[in-house]
Structure 1
Amino acid sequence: MELGMALKSAQINATFSGAFSKIEGAAEWKEGKAKDLKGVTVDGNKVTIKLTEPVGIFLLVMAQWPPYPKHLLENEDPAKLHLAKFWEKPIGNGPYMVTEVKPNNYAILEAFKDFYGPKPKIDKIKLQTMTEDKIVTNAQANQLDYYPVMSLDQVNEALKNPAYRAYPVDILYIRYLQANITGPDGSGNKKIGDLRVRQALEYAIDRKAIADKLFKGQASLIDTKIPKALPEFNKNAKTYDYNPDKAKQMLKEANFDFNQTIKLQYYYTDQQTVDLIDTIKYYWEQVGVKVETSLMKGNLLELIYNKRDYDFLYAGLSGMSMEEVYGLFHTDSPLGMNVFGGAKDKWDPLIDELRKTSDQQKRIEIVGKLQDMEANFLWHMPLFSMKQYIIVNEARLKTAGIYGNEWTNYDRKVQDWELKVK
């Protein structure tokens, strides 16, 4: 079945591959030593999956992993699965069927007459791929009915057309400053190695003023890597309210060398990011810190985790699970070890426990402890969580009123959507 194909695929999300690797017989199957994936059995409509050890997010992973027909994929080369003809007309089990696909252009969905649930009220849907400038142009021309955006500029442009309404959605998408603890040569970064220096630089930034001026409602302040709108947020976590006097005092206590220059890099190229970086630089200079800013260009993976020619990197993270948020701090992450050096006795036990826990309340408790740990390390200095916006042309479309993270699968009740015009 497709789980076996996924295990051998060269193009698969690490969260999925990590979960699937815990299926009984996964290693033997992947290495070609077994004809079948031992841990997966099928009895009529019942599929049983046996794991070698608990996987906390296995149910979440399976909820995001749609079933595909074995007979259409089993003869494909796993290394080239993403190029298979199947994706030009994929087969699923929802209220719509794909009838036409033009890669990097559009796909046509038509109501599936044999759908087991209620008959969809809209007969045909066109999914379009387009550049940002086309999104704005088409919205102004009333040519889009439903689309998600992260750009506040696009939201504002769309709302100039009174037909549109924007629905904000809180998602696991955060912005932060990554501290290069190991330094460029791996021997340790003496400039920012003292926790008090990193704490001082966090206190020195008026994040509320930045959020109000640059993001205008899209950004929410965070003091951990968990957005406050999520149930896992630890309300008792340490806060870093703007306090430049405290920042100056902590820098002095840490014997910070004010003659050295802090290197702040970023890889986003939009004007909003440029303005943000300039503002952070301004705030740090107000407490006496010299700052050099630059745009990171080239192979980002190599530059961020191997070359590491920065003291702080302005970065973003979007994740499906809490394991993704904290996995970089575990010593089994080569990339994280390159930048942070690791703290095996501190981070590993909690992250290991999270990885094996599926009970939601217990997971919340573990993530709460991880957030407490953040303040003791501040390897990632939290800045903001960012809202996603769902733009709806309400002059033409009536949705089911359910809006979630458009980067994941969720039940939009699309079969209940209605067109107000013919």
Structure 2
Amino acid sequence: MSKMKKMLKYGTVMFASTLVLSACGNGDVPDLDDDTGAADDPDTEETAEGDLPEVEEGDTSTLMIGLTNAPDSFNPFYRPGVAGTWIQRFFYDSLLVMPTAEDFEPGLATFETDDNQVFTVTIDPDANWTDGEPVTANDVAFTLNTIADPEVETTLGTSTAMIQGTDSSGVRVEGSDELSGVEIVDEKTLTITTEEPVDLALISEFLGFNVLIAPEHIFGDIEVADIPNSEAATMPTVFSGAYQFVEYDTDNYVHLEANPDYHRGAPAIETVYARVMNGTALITEFQAGNLHMAAGGGIGMVPVQDVALLEDIDGLVVEENPSFNGQYMIINNERFPDPRVRQAFAYAFNRELTVDNLLEGRGEVLSSTYSTASPYKDEALEPLPYDPEMATQLLEEAGFDFNQTLDFVVPTGNAVREQNGDLIEQWLTEIGVDVNLQTYDFPTWLAMANDLDYDIGLMGWGHTVDPNIASYVQTGGASNNMGIEDSTIDGLLEQGMAGTDYDERFPIYAELQQYLQDEMPIVPLYSDSQFAVRSEALNGGIKEYWAGSLHDLHEWTLDSQD
């Protein structure tokens, strides 16, 4: 099936009867927002096992998962990292699920619309919170209104930005106490009205799947400004998902137990431990038989150099899949407003060498923010070539101060990215740019980036199937930590969101990709393959479309390995 036909399959159909929808997350929008988004890879060190049980021969009730990046948040309204979002999906449900990049199915609810603008959301009558309270339309309305509250700390503004009564950043319009586009019909029904008709893929992915529904009776009495530090956000106790949060032994493991009353069916596996470790330990634990799967998607990362070791382990399944995500050099646009300087950085980097040597060919050079996995990638747009002479010429034309030293931040926790940081330092030095390479754990680096306290740095972004990247590059975007303020970018993003099908939207995003390459507010580097690793005993695990891997979590089983 062609990319266009894939998008047309769910991008042009007008809904006249109940439609089951779902959406993708990225990792996390990025949360990947990216959401994701911005979703990325926090630093992790190898830690002691604490009170973790060992994997016992014949045990089919306990699942051991390997994470190389620790969860950074259990707050359903604030999910800056893909690892935190991934863990939250075990215990908080979204309205819709997305098992593949093409298909949508019910999560907590179904959607119905006649015009792609007014959506009737019907909550599953059997959906309850783990304290016995029903999941209601009030919970959904509360979640959306909280995300849109101007006082809340959130990474999900892009998810509400399409709803009537919000501005382009997803914030509730000034002077209103509630979103005008969210109306409760009865206990299990509400309507969501968008400002304009929207592409079904957009609302499915960004609102239906990316938003995790929070219990109003738990969060409703907390001042929105106090939510981040509240017990409800740091040690959650009430859930709607397949599992219940039990404990987080910081940087060691997350302990989860099955929710026997889960509305889609009680999980077959009773206990889950998501263990945090570095990449070397991940390999060792697989070799010892102490893990059933790696989390994948940038949070259970197998070092590319070690993939062959896993492929040689009997009883282990290793699959290589393309990724929607990407690695970038972000640039403080306030300090470097001249696009010639930013383009010079791109010409200075031998990105093909990075893919061929550091990734061993298991990935691709990015020309913009879309990889070949995306149906919206403009295949005609080639990456800028490696041309250090052109880089030097552009810097000279821009009057670049070669006597200054640039602060270059490389977050720890991703071995390939760290190695690429060393190469970038070398390549910049070769064109006469002096850099001070600094390494920080990811949370520290993210705080610096948000404060624009850097010159250049490396960052991973989680992307969705839908091409909307407003959270990263729109003026005021939740994950715009580059200081980008560009009316052309903002205008193209608005046009892209207003389109209602693939044919209408593709040329807009193709123009955006060309403009991003011309202005180079960020330097796209590479997208590395993702590896799904699991024991043959596990019936489930990471799938080709990584973001949808947990849609059938409650159905996973473990075979006895006696």
TM score, norm. by length of structure 1: 0.76
Cα distance between partner residues in 2 of 1:168 and 1:302: 33
Q: Could you report, residue by residue, the CA deviation over 1:185-218 in whole angstroms, capped at 9, with x for unpaired residues?
A: xxx65xxx252x4434323322111222222244
Cα distance between partner residues in 2 of 1:255 and 1:102: 54
Query: Is the Cα contact below 8 Å between 2:468 and 2:493 reproduced in 1?
Result: no
Query: Is the Cα contact below 8 Å between 1:211 and 1:217 reproduced in 2?
Result: yes
Amino acid at match of 2:209: A
Cα distance between partner residues in 1 of 2:347 and 2:539: 45
1:219-298 matches, cutoff 5 A: 219-247=363-391, 254=397, 259-261=402-404, 263=406, 265-270=408-413, 271-286=415-430, 288-295=431-438
Alignment: residue pair count: 398
Query: Is the Cα contact below 8 Å between 1:200 and 1:246 reproduced in 2?
Result: yes
Amino acid at match of 1:352: E
1:45-194 matches, cutoff 5 A: 46-54=189-197, 57-60=202-205, 61-65=207-211, 79-80=226-227, 83-84=231-232, 87-92=236-241, 97-98=242-243, 101-104=246-249, 105-109=254-258, 115=264, 122-132=268-278, 135-149=282-296, 150=298, 151-153=301-303, 156=307, 158-159=310-311, 161-183=313-335, 193=338
Amino acid at match of 2:288: A
- Does residue 398 of the first structure (1) align with residue 544 of the second (2)? no
Cα distance between partner residues in 2 of 1:266 and 1:313: 4
**1:382 aligns to what SS in structure 2?**
strand
- Does residue 4 of the first structure (1) align with residue 156 of the second (2)? no
**2:276 aligns to what SS in structure 1?**
coil
Cα distance between partner residues in 2 of 1:224 and 1:113: 41
Q: Which has the larger radius of gyration?
A: 1
Q: Identify if the C-alpha distance between structure 1 residues 37 and 285 changes in structure 2 by more than 3 Å, giving closer, same or farther.
A: closer
Cα distance between partner residues in 2 of 1:321 and 1:113: 28
**1:172 aligns to what SS in structure 2?**
coil
- Does residue 419 of the first structure (1) align with residue 559 of the second (2)? yes
Shift of 1:98: 3.2
Cα distance between partner residues in 2 of 1:16 and 1:257: 35
**1:171 aligns to what SS in structure 2?**
coil
Cα distance between partner residues in 1 of 2:495 and 2:197: 10
Shift of 1:40: 2.5
Cα distance between partner residues in 1 of 2:540 and 2:478: 44
**1:366 aligns to what SS in structure 2?**
helix
Select the residue among 502, 506, 513 that pairs with 1:371: 513
Cα distance between partner residues in 2 of 1:28 and 1:283: 45
Amino acid at match of 1:319: H
Shift of 1:230: 1.2
- Does residue 349 of the first structure (1) align with residue 505 of the second (2)? no
**2:383 aligns to what SS in structure 1?**
coil
Q: Could you say what the CA RMSD is over the residues aligned between the two structures, in angstroms?
A: 4.1
Unaligned ranges ≥5, structure 2: 1-137
Shift of 1:233: 0.4
Cα distance between partner residues in 1 of 2:324 and 2:314: 29
TM score, norm. by length of structure 2: 0.59
Shift of 1:112: 5.8
Q: Identify if the C-alpha distance between structure 1 residues 329 and 22 changes in structure 2 by more than 3 Å, giving closer, same or farther.
A: same
Q: Identify if the C-alpha distance between structure 1 residues 170 and 361 changes in structure 2 by more than 3 Å, giving closer, same or farther.
A: farther
1:183-222 matches, cutoff 5 A: 183=335, 193=338, 195=340, 197-222=341-366
Amino acid at match of 2:527: S
Shift of 1:373: 0.8
Unaligned ranges ≥5, structure 1: none
Query: Is the Cα contact below 8 Å between 1:172 and 1:320 reproduced in 2?
Result: yes
Shift of 1:234: 0.5
Shift of 1:20: 7.6
The structure with the greater share of residues assigned to helix is 1
Q: Identify if the C-alpha distance between structure 1 residues 115 and 182 changes in structure 2 by more than 3 Å, giving closer, same or farther.
A: closer
Cα distance between partner residues in 2 of 1:398 and 1:163: 13
Amino acid at match of 1:359: D
Amino acid at match of 2:433: K
Query: Is the Cα contact below 8 Å between 1:402 and 1:412 reproduced in 2?
Result: no
Query: Is the Cα contact below 8 Å between 1:207 and 1:221 reproduced in 2?
Result: yes
Query: Is the Cα contact below 8 Å between 1:171 and 1:387 reproduced in 2?
Result: yes
Q: Could you report, residue by residue, the CA deviation over 1:259-301 in whole angstroms, capped at 9, with x for unpaired residues?
A: 4346251231245434322212323344x32322321659545
Aligned-pair identity in percent equals: 14
Query: Is the Cα contact below 8 Å between 2:317 and 2:534 reproduced in 1?
Result: yes
Moved more, 40-49 or 277-286: 40-49
Q: Identify if the C-alpha distance between structure 1 residues 318 and 418 changes in structure 2 by more than 3 Å, giving closer, same or farther.
A: same
Cα distance between partner residues in 2 of 1:397 and 1:64: 27
Query: Is the Cα contact below 8 Å between 2:363 and 2:528 reproduced in 1?
Result: yes
Shift of 1:50: 2.4
Q: Identify if the C-alpha distance between structure 1 residues 206 and 131 changes in structure 2 by more than 3 Å, giving closer, same or farther.
A: same
Amino acid at match of 2:313: N
Q: Identify if the C-alpha distance between structure 1 residues 324 and 265 changes in structure 2 by more than 3 Å, giving closer, same or farther.
A: farther
